[in-house]
């Protein structure tokens, strides 16, 4: 996943050497660690916007990959029960409902639908 330069710069500016260390891990994880500190620093709006951006891009990539996994499994003879078991859903119907939700989210979150 690409790194957002605004986040990397803020990590160093705000946390110095600790920020440099946080630059070696995925940015969503770094931001989680910073936000969950006992006394977290204020996070500027530009950094919050960048954080939201990397989360939405990451979520879309995971949703697309999971959708492709399910489509591939079904095309190769796996059942909804198999998929539910593999993805930790309680029932085949729950897995099917999740798949429908993924399709809707992929359509909703497509870059062409974003406000400019």
pLDDT tens digits, one per residue of 105-115: 999 887 777 66
- The secondary structure of residue 39, as a DSSP letter, is S
Number of domains in the chain: 2
> Residue 31: its pLDDT value, please?
98
Asked if 61 and 84 sit in the same domain, the reply is yes
Q: Same domain, yes or no, for 59 and 116?
A: yes
Mind listing the pLDDT tens digit for each residue in 7-44? Answer: 999 999 999 999 999 999 999 999 999 999 999 999 99
pTM of the model: 0.79
Same domain, 63 and 116: yes
Range(s) of the domain holding residue 67: 55-116
Do residues 68 and 39 share a domain?
A: no
Cα-Cα-Cα-Cα torsion 34, 36, 42, 45, nearest 10 degrees, comes to: 80
Task: Give the contacts of 87 (CB within 8 A, at least 6 positions apart).
Answer: 66, 70, 95, 98
Q: What is the pLDDT of residue 33?
A: 97
Same domain, yes or no, for 63 and 34? no
Angle at 1 between CA 9 and CA 116, to 5 degrees: 75
In a domain? residue 50: no
Q: What are phi and psi of 61, to 5 degrees?
A: -65, -45
């Amino acid at each position: 996943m690409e790194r957002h330069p605004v986040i990397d710069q803020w990590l160093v500016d705000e946390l110095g050497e600790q920020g440099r260390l946080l630059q070696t891990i995925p940015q969503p994880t770094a931001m989680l660690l910073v936000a969950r500190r006992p006394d977290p620093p204020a996070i500027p709006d530009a950094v919050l916007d960048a954080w939201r951006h990397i989360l939405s891009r990451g979520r879309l990539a995971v949703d697309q990959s999971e959708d492709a996994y399910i489509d591939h499994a079904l095309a190769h003879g796996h059942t909804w029960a198999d998929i539910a078991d593999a993805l930790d859903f309680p029932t085949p119907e729950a897995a099917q409902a999740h798949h429908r939700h993924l399709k809707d989210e992929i359509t909703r979150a497509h870059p062409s639908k974003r406000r400019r």
